[in-house]
Homo-oligomer: A and B are copies of this chain.
Amino acid sequence: MSLARQHGPAPVDRVEAAGRIDAVYRVRCAPAAIEARALAIAAEQSVEMPIGAIQDDWIRDEIVARVEDIEAEPEAKAAEAVGAAGAAQQAWRVTLSLDARTVGTEPGQLMNMLFGNSSLQPDVELIDARLPAALLDTLPGPAFGVDGLRALVGAPRRALTCTALKPQGLPPERLAALAGSFARAGIDFIKDDHGIADQAYAPFAQRVAQVQRAVTRANAETGGRSVYAPSLSGGARSLAQQLRIARDEGVRCVLACPLLIGVATFAELVRERGDLAILAHPALAGAARIAPALLLGRLVRLFGADATIFPNFGGRFSYGVDTCRAIADAARGPLGRHRATMPVPAGGMSVARVEEMLDEFGADVMLLIGGNLLEAGAAMPARAREFVERVQRASAR
């Protein structure tokens, strides 16, 4: 940036440049219209007004998003676009750069600048975002991450195991009994189903107290280190209260849905969680319009999730193997100063697929299997034990 460009109205020229964010969109549009469309998205995602009506050079040069690149997408790639509308038109990859000063350091405002208004336009998907070093560094990122979660359960190398307490509707004592069975089988992380909130039939305070005690008792019996992760829900006031209850009960890890509680609230939760690890659940991710690797991999990691749950290929959801690999890569690959976030493939997984999943993701993974354990009925403790043993064996290969 030239010195001349830095010169804007007070106090603007006192605000140091913070680099530029590259945001990459897939846009469906006729060839003749793509340049104008790219400029329109640049305006939409920055100043949201006619560029010609901007009187300040500094704003026009720096704050208005710049169209950095427009590239035709190979049709094969475009065809697998999630939620793409208007398949008859050609797909383009448009890279815009945004001034990082428009974001500051707040995750909600980052989402707003990346996709606030454009999320309402059906021809646009957000497929990638590259942040400048300073912004990357300022975002919280995981405090535990892969290594911290391993340390929590005393498993330095092998893949980790996870299951879910369900169905909702069970009273606290039944959920606690179930958690006890899972812990005695040696499963590492036992999380609440994300549908379990603070319902009258299993109020948070009673449920968390009873489940945590059951897990602690089972650990004492077996010498194991299973961890219970209750699901937090509600606004900040409710989250703070639940966090306090969880901590008082000796809980070491919690589950939260960044897109349900809001990414800004999620980031505040991250700051206030003390020594609790945080698993992110993808509910309401609206991922149909934001590339899953970006949202559930990179962004959720930057916002501070220690583990990120995502719908794995071959289950109840539609993500392909490439999408899942991209999520895991985004969660674990180099990213500024940040720890790796543990990828947690899930969503209709079964014990029979343990080896296949470890072949795909390696051992820096936490496998989450829920319904497949429960449908064993009376044989559930045996199947849970089989889950644990197959992971141990497959990790040692």
B109 contacts A233, C-beta separation under 8 Å: yes
A283 contacts B112, C-beta separation under 8 Å: yes
A264 contacts B195, C-beta separation under 8 Å: no
Q: How would residues 224 to 263 of chain A score, 1 for a CB under 8 Å from any chain B CB and 0 otherwise?
A: 0000000001111111000000000000000001011111
Q: How would residues 100 to 135 of chain A score, 1 for a CB under 8 Å from any chain B CB and 0 otherwise?
A: 011110101101110111011111000000000000
Q: Which B residues touch A54, using CB under 8 A?
A: 167
Nearest B residue to A317 via CB reads: B120
A334 at the interface (CB under 8 A from B): no
A47 contacts B108, C-beta separation under 8 Å: no
A63 contacts B169, C-beta separation under 8 Å: yes
CB distance from A296 to the nearest CB of B (A): 9
CB distance from A14 to the nearest CB of B (A): 8
Nearest B residue to A117 via CB reads: B283
CB distance from A169 to the nearest CB of B (A): 4
A49 at the interface (CB under 8 A from B): yes
B85 contacts A50, C-beta separation under 8 Å: no
Q: Which B residues touch A174, using CB under 8 A?
A: 9
Q: Which B residues touch A265, using CB under 8 A?
A: 235-236, 261-262, 264-265
CB distance from A235 to the nearest CB of B (A): 3
CB distance from A1 to the nearest CB of B (A): 14
CB distance from A395 to the nearest CB of B (A): 26
A166 at the interface (CB under 8 A from B): yes
A263 to B392, CA, bound (A): 41
A361 at the interface (CB under 8 A from B): no
A200 to B12, CA, bound (A): 8
B167 contacts A235, C-beta separation under 8 Å: no
A351 at the interface (CB under 8 A from B): no
B10 contacts A195, C-beta separation under 8 Å: no
CB distance from A27 to the nearest CB of B (A): 13
With contact pairs A83-B85, A169-B12, A235-B108 given, residues A316 and B44 touching in the complex (Cβ less than 8 Å) = yes
A285 to B122, CA, bound (A): 12
A193 at the interface (CB under 8 A from B): yes
User: How many copies of the polypeptide does the oligomer hold?
Assistant: 2
A343 at the interface (CB under 8 A from B): no
CB distance from A291 to the nearest CB of B (A): 13
A287 at the interface (CB under 8 A from B): yes
Q: Which B residues touch A318, using CB under 8 A?
A: 121-123
- Of residues 308 through 328 on chain A, the ones whose CB sits less than 8 Å from some CB of chain B are 311, 316-318
Q: Which B residues touch A374, using CB under 8 A?
A: 49-50, 53
Q: Which B residues touch A44, using CB under 8 A?
A: 316
CB distance from A115 to the nearest CB of B (A): 6
B48 contacts A377, C-beta separation under 8 Å: no
A195 contacts B85, C-beta separation under 8 Å: no
Residues of A within 8 A of B (CB): 8-12, 15, 40, 44, 46-50, 52-56, 58-59, 62-64, 82-85, 87, 101-104, 106, 108-109, 111-113, 115-117, 119-123, 164, 166-171, 174, 193-195, 197-201, 233-239, 257, 259-269, 282-289, 311, 316-318, 347, 370-371, 374-377
- Could you list 9 examples of A-B contacts with CB < 8 Å? A47-B167, A48-B193, A49-B193, A101-B201, A106-B233, A109-B198, A116-B194, A121-B317, A235-B267
Known: A106-B233, A117-B347, A262-B263. 19 other contacts (CB 8 A): A10-B171, A11-B201, A15-B199, A48-B193, A49-B166, A53-B374, A53-B377, A63-B167, A63-B169, A102-B199, A104-B199, A112-B194, A112-B283, A120-B347, A121-B318, A236-B236, A262-B264, A262-B266, A284-B286
